[in-house]
Structure 1
Amino acid sequence: MELTSSALVYLVAGLTLLALTATVLLWPRLAGRHPLQILGRIGLLTVSQLLALAVCALTLNAAYGFYSSWHDLLQPTGGQLALGPAGPGARSGPPVGDALVRPTTEGGLDQVTDLPQGKPEEVGQISSIRVNGKESGLSDQMFIYLPPEYFNPKYARERFPVLLTLAGYPGPALHLLSELHTPQTAWDLQRTGRMAPTVVVMARPTVAAPRNTECVDVPGGPATETWFAKDLPNALRSAYRVSRSPASWGVLGYSTGGSCALRLALRDPGSYGSAAALHADYQVPEDWSTGDLFGGSRQLAQGYDLAWRLQNLPVPKSHLLLVSTRTEEDYAATQQFLATASSTAQAHPDLTVDSLFLPDGGHSFDTWRRELPASLEWLSDHLSPAPDREPRAG
């Protein structure tokens, strides 16, 4: 039973009701001062309260995805990597023992009921996979959508562009399917010719749950930037027919995921050539969810300040899209960063900056769903067709 499943919440809630009922019924019998009666009362209260707390914890975790699976909860971050076969849609490649991607039942894919239905060669395929990183030592569950063309023999030698999509904090990767409707929207755009056939990867920025590492390499801690910039592309290239060119890789995210998207495009242009950020922040915060990510180092923190980078460091070749609303709390900050980025782009043709602002909307899935189709179309226009092909057999 999945950690985030409703069935588990209902089960524990039922056990809580049974424990409370047992407490009411047995309390008169345990009202004396005998040591066993005292221990019985303590036991009933303890079990009832622990079960009630478990219901609250499971409900919050199901809603916000602090831990997306039992694997997250029970295995310490950076532990031994569990390597296995390459997973659905995998091409011939490394031996099974060296695979960095394997299929998994984690993540709650069975909870999403409105996914495209049909044969893979007609509607594509969505799978849950676990990816393991060699350099960072991190491991996480995510989803991958392979377009119908991936299964068409006509495209057997083609490599496909890749779009990494990132959820917010502390949301699970499942929110990209169940709430944002990412693969559903991508399929609709691709079948109507508004988006090129693209492999869409759906992940969360919270690789080192439950801490919010904001996709940075934490000194002495999780190397989250390395995970997204190096490990994830390398792992996917080992298992799927995807492009090796950064110009064919893009990243989209909302909220914290949008902040990560911009950082990856500006700090790691050798991995991602374009980014669309929905309602992002432009500096790494220091709050209850992050702690001090840079160990007090002003220099490290400055390196992740996006406006400072554009004004003081070499400007990368990158395409950026800033998306928000005119009623969003961070509208002024977005306008300020947009002004800086646009000014920099005028002097550096390798950098392009576009923006999309809705007249209203807040920090919510209702707004992000409205912004998603135009953002995906923009990214498709800026993802270069994969220049590389699979070698001929033999």
Structure 2
Amino acid sequence: MGLTSDKVLVLAVALAVVLFLATVLLWPRLARRGWRAVVGRVGLLLATQVALFAAVGLAANRSFLFYGSWADLFGQEQEMGVVVDHAAGSKDLKVVGKQSLDVPGGSRPDVGGQIQKVVVVGDRSGITSPAYVYLPPEYFQKAYEKKTFPASVVLTGYPGMAENLIKGLKYPGTAYSQVKAGKMQPMILVMLRPTVAPPRDTECVDIPGGPQTETFFAEDLPKVVSETYRVGTKPRNWGVMGNSTGAYCALKIALHHPDRYAAGAGFSAYYRAAEDVTTGDLFHGDDRLRKRANLLWSLDHMPQGKSSFLVTTSKQGESNLRGTLDFVKKVKSPARVSSITLESGGHNFNTWNREIPPGMAWMAGRLSAS
């Protein structure tokens, strides 16, 4: 039974209830003196509390998808690596699985679209990463068979799993609904986590002598996807968005690479690369690289291209309000900036699910299919 399954949660709740009732019923017997009674009381109380905390934790995890599996919870990789053989001139993307959307008629790709699990190999960066690609229904329809589509890279936070973008943040389902409602054009989504060199949090930086994460997202990923799917290669064909660490990465990539991405959306972004035990030494003493990874410094000291930016925050609950206001003030023409400011909302899935639908419509409006 999976970590996020209903059965596990029901069993945990049932166990907590049974232990609580056992405590009430057995307490008179365990109220006697003697080491056995003391051990019984301590054991029963401890077991009840552990079961209660487990039930609460499982319920919270099911709602917010902090961890997607038991292996993820205990810091282990669940799936074996996929060996990808490359002949000369071959595309560096391999489809390893397919799934449909849970919508009426969704088993047919031309009705519900399709989510493909892929492995992307970056030639320039040397990074290999799993990802999910959402293809809208129109991609499979005859009327669109010779047409290209805009695409957006979608990034999780750290140490999130790419599955969170499908299950918890519902990007494919939201894209499907938004198109059906006439609020956005059909768009391909390339969903993955920014942790492409796990377990290290590289903050989407090209680390001297280490993982070239920025190169992977800025150069390799759009190139490989455009060679595999009907997506254009011009900046106006590409956007990038994400939440938390993924939000910082999205804004950073769009800011530093306007020749690759026309738009970047950051849901609950921070604006300077984190440096802690999860990142290790990102810059190896190079102050120029450290400053470049500070988006507010970049806006002040580097040329701004034609990229559009969307940033989000809340008046209560987010710690990025001041940084977001500073970011908005520093964006200058020819770049453009938009924002979403909620009255209240914390750094969590509930907040992002209130920002993603309008954010996706904004993104689709900044991109072109050809």
Question: Shorter chain as normaliser: what TM range?
Answer: 0.7 to 0.9
CA distance in 1, matches of 2:76, 2:251: 25
Post-superposition offset of 1:58: 9.6
TM-score, normalised with respect to structure 2 = 0.77
Match of residue 334 from structure 1: 324
Post-superposition offset of 1:381: 1.0
Post-superposition offset of 1:273: 0.8
Kept in 1, the 8 Å contact 2:265–2:311? The answer is: yes
Out of 98, 112, 115, which is 1:126 matched to?
A: 115
Query: Secondary structure of 1:104's match?
Result: strand
Out of 362, 367, 370, which is 1:378 matched to?
A: 362
Is residue 165 of structure 1 aligned with residue 174 of structure 2? no
Q: Deviations over 1:49-78 (max 9, x none)?
A: xxxxxxxx99665359x6654346xx9xxx
CA distance in 2, matches of 1:96, 1:125: 29
Out of 326, 339, 348, which is 1:364 matched to?
A: 348
Matching residue's letter, 1:166: L
Matching residue's letter, 1:82: V
Is residue 98 of structure 1 aligned with residue 90 of structure 2? yes
Match of residue 79 from structure 2: 70
Query: Secondary structure of 1:201's match?
Result: strand
Kept in 2, the 8 Å contact 1:83–1:100? The answer is: no
Is residue 284 of structure 1 aligned with residue 259 of structure 2? no
Match of residue 83 from structure 1: 85
Match of residue 263 from structure 2: 274
Kept in 2, the 8 Å contact 1:83–1:101? The answer is: no
Out of 126, 129, 132, which is 1:137 matched to?
A: 126
Out of 164, 171, 178, which is 1:182 matched to?
A: 171
Out of 219, 229, 253, which is 2:218 matched to?
A: 229
Query: Secondary structure of 1:357's match?
Result: strand
Post-superposition offset of 1:123: 1.4
Matching residue's letter, 1:99: K
Kept in 1, the 8 Å contact 2:254–2:262? The answer is: yes
Query: Secondary structure of 1:127's match?
Result: strand
Is residue 258 of structure 1 aligned with residue 247 of structure 2? yes
Kept in 1, the 8 Å contact 2:105–2:111? The answer is: no
Q: 1:166 to 1:67 in 2, by over 3 A?
A: farther
TM-score, normalised with respect to structure 1 = 0.73
Structure 1: state its 5+ residue gaps: 11-56, 76-80, 85-94, 387-394
Query: Secondary structure of 1:379's match?
Result: helix
CA distance in 2, matches of 1:177, 1:308: 34
Matching residue's letter, 1:365: F
Kept in 1, the 8 Å contact 2:155–2:243? The answer is: yes
CA distance in 2, matches of 1:249, 1:223: 20
> How many residue pairs were aligned?
309
Query: Secondary structure of 2:133's match?
Result: strand
Post-superposition offset of 1:268: 1.1
Kept in 2, the 8 Å contact 1:262–1:276? The answer is: yes
Out of 308, 311, 332, which is 1:322 matched to?
A: 311
Out of 240, 249, 254, which is 2:229 matched to?
A: 240
CA distance in 2, matches of 1:323, 1:248: 23
Kept in 2, the 8 Å contact 1:143–1:201? The answer is: yes
Structure 2: state its 5+ residue gaps: 9-66
Overall identity of the aligned pairs, in %: 37
CA distance in 1, matches of 2:326, 2:231: 36
Query: Secondary structure of 2:299's match?
Result: helix
